[in-house]
Amino acid sequence: MIELCTFRVGPLFLGIEVARVQEVLRHLPIVRVPLAAPAIRGLINLRGQIVTAIDLRRRLGLADTPPASPANVVVRTPHGPVSLVADDVGEVLGVSDEDFAPPPETLRGPSRALYRGAYKLPGELLLHLVVDEVVRVPQ
């Protein structure tokens, strides 16, 4: 039984370990960084600390139509906090190991490494993201 902080990006229902989430913030202006990789949304000012914001839509290869007020899911990484920009944040869900399934064989390419697997919730799959892979944006 682990607890996942859940959020939505496009059609995907995603979760990461609660312990990795530092905080969730909305309405933060994001300053674009020219010449950066497309998946980098920009920089945010987190109480004086400058934090990189990663556009989860682009990172996960989804359509580029961000919602009006995206949410910043600030996660802890060994190199300091990083914000994952999601469409909307859901609640913290307790999930159990018996519902877990690894990624299917048909999911190939670099995307595969982004997921630890999925929890089979009633009516929906909760995809468990590997935070350290998601924040490692190729340049």
Partner 1 sequence: MSDNADIVAEFLVESHENVERIERELVALESNPEDATTLASIFRSVHTIKGTCGFLGFARLEKLAHAAENLLSLVRDEELEYVPAIAEGLLAMVDAVKGALATIEASGSEGGETHAALVAHLEAMSRGAPAPAPAPRAPAPAPAPPPSGAIADTSVRVDVVLLDKLMNLVGELVLTRNQVLQLTANQPSSTLLAAIQRLNVITADLQEGVMKTRMLPIEQVFAKLPRLVRDVAAACGKDVRIQIDGAATELDRTLIEAIRDPLTHLVRNAIDHGVEDPGVRRARGKPPQATVSVRAYHAAGHVNIEIADDGNGIDSEKIRRKAVAHGLMSVDAAGAMGERELLSLIFLPGFSTAAEVTAVSGRGVGMDVVRTNIERIGGTVDVDTAAGRGTTFRVRIPLTLAIIPALIVASGGARYAIPQASLVELVRAPADRLESFHGARVYRLRGRLLPIVDLRAVLGDAPGDAPESVNIIVLQTQEQPFGLLVDEIQDTAEIVVKPLSAHFRSIGAFSGATVLGDGGVALILDVAGVAAAAGAVGDVARRATAPAPAAVPVPAPVDDEALLLCRGASGGVVAIPLSGVHRLAQIPVAAIERTGDEEVVQYHGAILPLRRLSTLLGEVDAGDAGDRLDVVLAGQVGVVVSEILDIVQCPAKVERRSPRPGVVGSLVVKGRVTELLDLGELLGTARPRLGVAA
Residues that bind partner 1 (CB under 8 A): 29, 31-40, 43-45, 48-50, 52, 54, 58-59, 61, 63-65, 79-80, 82, 109-110, 137-139
Nearer to partner 1 by C-beta: 54 or 95? 54
Q: Are strands 82-86 and 40-46 parallel, antiparallel or unpaired?
A: unpaired
Nearer to partner 1 by C-beta: 34 or 94? 34
* Smallest separation, CB 7 to partner 1 (Å): 19
Centroid of chain to Cα 122: 22
DSSP secondary structure string for all residues of 36-58? S-TTEEEEEEETTEEEEEEEHHH
* Smallest separation, CB 67 to partner 1 (Å): 14
- Contact (Cβ atoms closer than 8 angstroms) between residue 54 and residue 40: yes
Nearer to partner 1 by C-beta: 60 or 95? 60
